[in-house]
Structure 1
Amino acid sequence: MKILYTSIILMTMVTITFLMTMMISKKSKMSREKNSPFECGFSSMSSARKPFSTHFFLIAMLFLVFDIEISIMLPMFSIKMSNMMEWFISSLMITTILILGLMHEWKNGMLEWSK
C-alpha cells in the first residue's frame, strides 16, 4: 500500500513540474513571423513561387550521397567482414563509383557556383 501512495505522489509531482515548466517557458510575445514555420533557410513571408537554386540542390545531393557512403562503409570498417579480400573489394568498389561520379560532375561544371 505504501508503494501505491508513493507512486501516486511521485506522478503528481511530475505532472505539476511539467505544468509549471510549460507555463514558464510559454512565449510571451506572439507575432506572425515567430508563429510561421521555418524551413530550409527560406523566409515564409516571401513568395512561395521563388525559383530554387539548382546548384544548391546538386551540392545538397552530393552531400547526401557521401553521407550515405559513410553510413555504408563505417559498419564495414567496424565489423570487418569475415573475408578480408571481400571487405577490401567492397570498400574499393563503393569508393571508386563515388569518385567517378564526383569526377563526372566536376568535368561537366556542375560544382561551379555561378551567380
Structure 2
Amino acid sequence: MQIELKGIFSVELNEPSLPADPACCCVLMSADIGARDSAGADQFDFYVVTPGFLAKYPEVRWGHAYLHMPEFDWAETKRMLERLVAGVRADRWEDAANQLCRFLQWEFDGYP
C-alpha cells in the first residue's frame, strides 16, 4: 500500500504566517495522511519545536511527536513529513499508521 501526505495545518497559525519569533517557538501542527488511492485521511499531530524555545523554557518533558528544527518553516515541515511518509512500508493502513505513530500522534492511537 502506498500512502501520502494530503495536507498540513496548524490551529495556531495559518499558512504562510510565521510565529512571532520563528527561532523560539513551539507550534502544534497536524498532518492529514492517507492511502494514495483514497480521498480519506487520518490526522496525525506533532509539535514543531526550536532549540530557542527549549532553552527559554528549560523544563523536563517527553519528546514524542516533536519535530526539532532551528527555525519554524512551513516548507521544511512539509518536506520532513513527506520524507517520513515516503519511508513507510506496509500492506495495511493500520500497519502504516502504527509506523507513523513512532514519530507522530495518531488521532486513533489506543483505540480498540
Q: TM-score, normalised by structure 2?
A: 0.21
Larger strand percent: 2
Larger helix percent: 1
Structure showing greater relative contact order (alpha-carbon pairs closer than 8 Å, 6 or more residues apart): 2
Instruction: Point out the structure with max Rg over C-alpha.
Output: 1
